[in-house]
Amino acid sequence: MMNSSQVSYFTLTAYLDSGVSYFIFSAYFDTGPFKYLYFTIVMSLYVFIFGSNLLLIVVICVNRSLHEPMYMFLCSLFVNELYGSTGLFPFLLLQILSDVHTVSAPLCFLQIFCLYTYANVEFYNLAIMSYDRYLAICYPLQYHTHMTLNKVAKLIILTWLFPILNIVVMISLNASLQLCGHTVDTLYCNNYSVVKLACFDTTINNIYGLVYTFTVLIGLAFLNLFTYVKILKVCFSGSKQTRQKAISTCTPHLASLLNFSFGCFFEIVQSRFNMSRAPMILRIFLSIYFLTCQPVFNPVLYGLKLTKIRLICKSLLFGKI
C-alpha cells in the first residue's frame, strides 16, 4: 500500500512526463516526525544569519567612525550574505515540511541566479578586501590616496555588477535548452544539475561555464596570492608592530577566504561528480555547509575580531560601556 505522499509524488511524476515545467528534488528523503526538528535547526540558523548580518550592516552604516574602506567592503560582504541566505533558506524550509519536493522551472532558474550571484559576489568581495589590506599594509602613507571613497564605491559596484551580468548570460543559455528529464539529485537547483538534463548537445553552455569559472577562480586566486605574498614580505622585513598589525587585519580575511573555498569545493564536487555512493546525510550536510559557511562564520569572526565593531555592538545590545 502507498501512502498519500507517495501517490501524490507518482501522480505528479506522470504529469510532468509530458513537459518539463517543474523539477523534482531526489535528495530529500522521508524523515517522519524528525522533519520538525530539522526545520527548527535550519530555521534557527536562518534567524541567526539574518539577525547577525543585519546588525553588522546597521552598525557600519550608522557609525561615521566605521565609514572607512575596510568596513565598507565588509558591509558589502554582509549584504551579500543576507541576500544569499534570504534567497535560498525560505525555499529550503518549505521543502523540509513538504511531502512532495518540487519547484517550478522559473523559480528553479531564479534560485540558480541567487545561488551563483551570491557565490561570485562573495569571491569578488574577498579579492577586493585582500587588495585593500595589501594597500593598507604595504603602502600605509599612500593608502588614503589610492583608496578614496570614490574608488571604494566603484569597486563595490563592479563587485556586484560583473557577476550579475555573467550569471544572466549563463541562465539565458540554460533557459533555451530543451530538457528530457525533470529530476535533480540536489537540495536546491544548481546550474550543472539542470544542464545534465538537456536532450541535445550542451557544448556552448559547458564552454561558457568552464571559461568563466576558470577565469574567475584563477584571476581572483592570483590576486589573493599576490597580495598575501607582498604582505608576508612586509611582515618579515618590517617591525614587530607592523607584523602585529598585518596579523590582526589579515587573519579574519584569510580565515573567511579558506572557509568559503572549502564550501565551494565541496559544492563543485557534489554537482560535477557522481556522489550516489556517498551517504545521503553527508551530501545534505555538505549542501547545508555551503549555504551557511559564510553567513554564520563571518559575522562571528569579524564581530569578535575587530575591536571597533565589537564595542559598538556591545553598546547597542547592552547599553553604554
Quickly state the pLDDT bin for 11 (edges 50, 70, 90). Answer: very low
Share of the chain above pLDDT 90, in %: 21
Per-residue pLDDT band at 320 (split at 50, 70, 90): low
Pairing of β 183-184 and β 22-25: parallel
pLDDT at 243: 73
Assess contact for 58 and 74: CB atoms under 8 A. Answer: no
Q: How confident is the model at residue 317 (pLDDT cuts 50, 70, 90)?
A: low
Give the range of the structural domain holding residue 98, as residue numbers without chain letter. 4-318
pLDDT digits (tens, 9 = 90+) for 120-132: 999 999 999 999 9
Give me the CATH number covering residue 248: 1.20.1070.10
pLDDT average, residue stretch 136-164: 90
* pLDDT score recorded for residue 303: 78
Q: Cα–Cα distance between 176 and 193 in angstroms, integer? A: 15
Amino acid identity for residue 36 in this structure: Y
Q: How confident is the model at residue 207 (pLDDT cuts 50, 70, 90)?
A: confident
| Tens digit of each residue's pLDDT (9 = 90 or more) over 68-123 | 898 899 999 999 999 999 988 998 888 888 877 888 888 888 999 999 999 999 99
Q: How many structural domains comprise the chain?
A: 1
Helices (H), the chain: 4-16, 35-62, 69-97, 105-138, 143-146, 149-175, 191-195, 203-237, 240-272, 280-305, 307-318
Confidence of residue 1 (pLDDT cuts 50, 70, 90): very low
Quote the percentage of the chain above a pLDDT of 70. Answer: 90
* Mean pLDDT score across all residues of the chain: 82
Mean pLDDT to the nearest integer, 263-285: 78
Radius of gyration of the chain (CA): 22
pLDDT at 5 over 60: no
Q: What is the pTM of this model?
A: 0.85
Q: For residue range 16-66, what is the model confidence (pLDDT) as tens digits?
A: 443 467 888 877 777 777 788 888 998 999 999 999 899 899 888 888 888
Please answer whether residues 59 and 66 qualify as being in contact, where contact means their C-beta atoms are separated by less than 8 angstroms: yes
